[in-house]
Structure 1
Amino acid sequence: MDHRGLTVLLWLWSSVAPDDIRLEGGASRCAGRLMEKHLGGWKAVVGHWNWTRAAAVCRQLDCGSAVSFQTTQDPSATPNHLLHLLNAGPLWIIDESSSSGLEISCSDSVRLVNGAKLCSGRLEVRSNQSWSSVCDDDFNQQEAEVVCRELGCGAPSVLHGGLYGDVEAPVWTKGFRCEGHESALLDCERSVRNNCSSGKAAGLTCSGPADVRLVGGGGRCDGMLEMNKLGEWKPVDDRNWNLSLAGEVCGLLDCGSAVSTRRGRRPSSSFVWGLESVCKASSLATCDKKLLFSSFILEITCSDSVRLVNEAKLCSGRLEVRSNQSWSLVCYDDFNQQEAEVVCRELGCGAPSVLHGGLYEDMEAPVWTKGFCCEGHESALLDYPDEVRLEGGAGRCAGRLEVRHHEDWRAVDNQDFDWDLKVTAAACRRLDCGSPVSPGRKTVSEERSVWWINSACLQSEHTLKECVTTREQTSETSLEITCSDSVRLVNGAKLCSGRLEVRSNQSWSSVCDDDFNQQEAEVVCRELGCGAPSVLQGALYGDVEAPVWTKGFRCEGHESALLDCGGSVSAKHTCSSGKAVGLTCSDPGDVRLVGEPSRCAGALEMKVQGEWRPVVDGFSLWDQQSAAAVCRLLDCGSAVSTKTLEDDDWNRPVWWIKSPCVQSAPAPRDCVILNTVTESYLGLEVVCSGFLAQPNVSASPSTDGVSRAVQQGLQVLAGSDFTITCSIEPQYPGGSFQLIFTTSTTAQNYTLPAVNHSAHFLFSAADHTHQGGYRCVYHVHVFSQNVSSESQPLCLTISASLTELMVRLVVLLLGVTSLISAVCLRSQKRG
Structure 2
Amino acid sequence: MSIAIVVCRQLGCGSTVSVLPGNTTRGFGVSCSGSEPSLRECIRTNELRPGLTVICSESVRLVDGAGLCSGRVEVKSNQSWASVCEADFDRQDAEVVCRDVGCGAPAALQGGLYGEGEGQTWDKEFQCKGKESLLLYCDTSDRENNTCPPGNAVGLTCSEPDDVRLVGGGSRCAGGVEWYDQGEWWTVGAADWDQRDVAAVVCRQLGCGSTVSVLPGNTTNGIRVFCSGSESSLRECRRMYDLRPELTVICSESVRLVDGAGLCSGRVEVKSYQSWASVCEADFDRQDAEVVCRDVGCGAPAALQGGLYGEGEGQTWDKEFQCKGKESLLLDCDTSDRKNKTCLPGNAVGLTCSEPDDVRLVGGGSRCAGGVEWYDQGEWRIVGAEDEDQRDVAAVVCRQLGCGSTVSVPPGNTTRGIRFYCEGDESSLRECFRSYDLHPGLTVICSESVRLVDGAGLCSGRVEVKSNQSWASVCEADFDRQDAEVVCTEFGCGAPAALQGGLYGEGEGQTWDKEFQCKGKESLLLDCDTSDRENNTCLPGNAIGLTCSEPDDVRLVGGGSRCAGGVEWYDQGEWRTVGADDRDQRDVAAVVCRQMRCGSTVSVPPGNTTRGVGVFCYGSDSSLRECRRMYDLHPGLTVICSDLLVQPDIYLTDPMGGVFRGHQGPEMFRGYNFTITCSTQPQYPGGSFLLTFTSSNRTQPAVNHSAAFLFPAADDSHQGNYSCVYENYVFSHNFSSESELLSLTITGN
TM-score (norm 2): 0.38
Question: Considering only CA atoms, is the larger Rg found in Structure 1 or Structure 2?
Answer: 1
TM-score (norm 1): 0.35
